[in-house]
Amino acid sequence: MLGGLINRLKRKKVSPKTRKKSSKEDAEYILLYGTQSGNTQTMAKAFFKGLLAEGKKVFMDELDNYSLYENATHLIIFTSTYGVGGPPSNGNYFEDLIKEKEPLNPLKFSVVAFGSTSFPEFCQFGVDVDKWLESVSGFERFIPLVKINEQSISDIRSWLSLWNRTSGMEVQIGLKDIGKKKSKIEDFIVLENPEINEDNTSLIKLRPKNQISFQSGDLLGIIPEGSQKPRMYSIARIGDDIHLSVKKHDKGICSRFLCNLQKEDIVVASLERNESFHFVPDAPSVWLIGNGTGIAPYLGMMEENQHSPLKLIWGGRTESSFHIYKPYADKAIKHGRMEKYELALSREGNSKYVQDILAEEENEVARALESGAVFMLCGSMAMQDSVLKVLNKITNDKLDRAISSFMNNGQILKDCY
Ligand SMILES: Cc1cc2nc3c(=O)[nH]c(=O)nc-3n(C[C@H](O)[C@H](O)[C@H](O)COP(=O)(O)OP(=O)(O)OC[C@H]3O[C@@H](n4cnc5c(N)ncnc54)[C@H](O)[C@@H]3O)c2cc1C
Ligand SMILES: Cc1cc2nc3c(=O)[nH]c(=O)nc-3n(C[C@H](O)[C@H](O)[C@H](O)COP(=O)(O)O)c2cc1C
């Protein structure tokens, strides 16, 4: 009881006056946050500012202040989890409130769950909130629930890119608003950018002009001309060079810019460390799982690996989609740094996805996870969801454990977008 009071006081201290640019009656977007020690509120505020910059009418408030909103169309919830999968101190009554008061107009909901994989009930309160909203009439899902581990900036970016894609907005979250240091902008020289392949994908080689420290799994951030929104690209380190794989989107500003680069052009960008997606050199075995451009960081990890049995499972449309990456994989096999690779081709032979291969190899997957293997996932969010579903089924059926326990101990690493 006293602990709760102290937490409440602490939270009050870290939370300066809530900014309410629109009243709750006027706002179209209602952003509610559940927090105990203030981190989730900081994230919510950054998103709030981003929505305001997009000209949206937004109202931000605490989770337990949920009420009826006359003009709202969207309900966005950022919440952390406390105790053992329970609510933070300002989220105790939310379940009762939404069940008591049906919204005045249908509300499209999106839940962002903050937590830590070091707890067995990872993001459980956010999961519960999402489930309650799904079950109560008057609420309609806008985007799937996303879990954020330890306020990971790359998890936030993935969620933001999903939000922007679905809403057609260009919301940005300022790094300084979430207390992260701004990365240094550097020049990179284009060494190679061969012809784009039939899947509209390029494999680009860059060399930093100055010596900088980075490794495979880090992200290259680029702000293209005419835009303020940074675009992120997962990178491989091979020697001192950066290799990245870029899918060209028809109307995509940055992907078109990158795919059209010529040898010796200069790219201005920043390199951001992505701690949670680095190779684990001493793992008993490593499974690299990805689709499309998600293979990029693995091209460097195949070089980096010294001791671990390593396997790649990659999903693409056709065998020739893999041609641009094949030399890297063949070289790693030749030098004994990778055991094998398997392709899941969706438009050739028996149409297959990476999760189908995992399901076929369920016994091997279970044995590997049980013995401490690290599974890395990079590529589309849709792939991530499907793969996690299959892995969860395997670990439940074969090991009587939920996949979350393997996420908690760092055996499942994700970098999806
Ligand atoms: C952590 C992280 C890592 C990433 N790594 C890579 C990577 O290694 N390689 C890579 O190619 N991209 C990667 N991305 C995506 C990348 O940052 C850009 O979002 C993408 O290149 C589109 O940017 P754009 O400027 O070309 O398109 P925008 O100008 O932002 O958008 C133009 C059009 O493209 C559509 N669009 C944008 N992104 C997608 C998408 N993913 N799927 C379908 N349609 C889309 C939009 O709906 C819009 O119509 C990553 C994203 C994140 C968050
Ligand atoms: C005492 C305590 C209990 C926690 N319990 C959980 C938990 O059960 N599940 C989880 O995913 N995270 C748990 N967390 C992690 C927090 O949810 C995470 O650090 C979150 O980002 C904190 O956000 P906040 O500062 O907005 O409250 C716990 C943290 C603390 C300090």
Strand (E) or helix (H) holding 76? strand 74-80
Least confident of 22-36, 79-93, 317-331: 79-93
Q: Do domains 2-178 and 279-416 have the same CATH topology?
A: yes
pLDDT reported for residue 117: 85
Q: What is 185-275's CATH number, 2.40.30.10, 3.40.50.1820, 3.90.1150.10, 3.30.70.1350?
A: 2.40.30.10
**Does residue 294 contact residue 316 with C-beta atoms inside 8 Å?**
no
Strand 266-272 and strand 340-345: pairing? unpaired
Q: What is the mean pLDDT of the chain?
A: 91
Contacting residues for 6 by C-beta, under 8 A, at least 6 apart: none
The yes-or-no verdict on residue 171 having pLDDT over 60 is: yes
The yes-or-no verdict on residue 357 having pLDDT over 80 is: yes
Distance CA 198, CA 75 (A): 40
Torsion of CA 262, 266, 272, 278, to 10 degrees: 40
Atom of ligand 1 nearest to the CA of 164: 47
Class of domain 2-178: alpha beta
pLDDT reported for residue 230: 78
Span 108-145, pLDDT tens digits: 999 999 998 878 899 999 999 999 999 999 999 999 99
Q: Does residue 221 have its Cβ closer than 6 Å to ligand 2?
A: no
Least confident of 141-145, 221-225, 231-235, 271-275: 271-275
pLDDT over 70, % of the chain:
94
Span 309-319, pLDDT tens digits: 999 999 999 99
**Does residue 217 contact residue 189 with C-beta atoms inside 8 Å?**
no
Distance CA 331, CA 325 (A): 10
pLDDT reported for residue 408: 67
- Mean pLDDT in residue range 61-67: 94
Distance CA 354, CA 227 (A): 34
- At residue 115's C-alpha, the angle toward residues 61 and 132, to 5°, is 60
Strand 266-272 and strand 310-316: pairing? unpaired
pLDDT reported for residue 279: 97
Structure tokens that stand for 231 in this block: 């675009």
Residue nearest (by alpha carbon) to ligand 1 atom 41: 417
The yes-or-no verdict on residue 361 having pLDDT over 70 is: yes
Q: Domain coordinates of the chain in residue numbers?
A: 2-178, 185-275, 279-416
Distance CA 112, CA 160 (A): 10
Span 66-75, pLDDT tens digits: 999 999 999 9
The yes-or-no verdict on residue 169 having pLDDT over 80 is: yes
pLDDT reported for residue 14: 31
Higher pLDDT, 242 or 83: 242
Class of domain 279-416: alpha beta
Least confident of 1-5, 158-162, 186-190, 286-290: 1-5
Q: Ligand 1: distance of its center to the CA of 231 in Å?
A: 7
pLDDT reported for residue 101: 79
- Give which of 300, 320, 287 is closest to 233, Cα–Cα: 300
- At residue 282's C-alpha, the angle toward residues 276 and 287, to 5°, is 65
Distance CA 331, CA 338 (A): 9
Residue nearest (by alpha carbon) to ligand 1 atom 4: 233
Structure tokens that stand for 322 in this block: 């893999």
Q: Where do we find the tokens 């002009």?
A: 209
Q: Does residue 88 have its Cβ closer than 6 Å to ligand 2?
A: yes
Span 13-43, pLDDT tens digits: 333 334 447 899 999 999 999 998 889 999 9
Per-residue confidence band for 4, with pLDDT thresholds at 50, 70 and 90 = very low
Q: Does residue 19 have its Cβ closer than 6 Å to ligand 1?
A: no
pLDDT reported for residue 405: 79
Higher pLDDT, 85 or 229: 85
Ligand in closest contact with the CA of 204: 1
pLDDT reported for residue 5: 26
HEC letters along 39-69? HHHHHHHHHHHHHHHCCCCEEEEEHHHCCCC
Structure tokens that stand for 17 in this block: 């006056």
Higher pLDDT, 151 or 361: 361
pLDDT reported for residue 152: 87
pLDDT reported for residue 229: 73
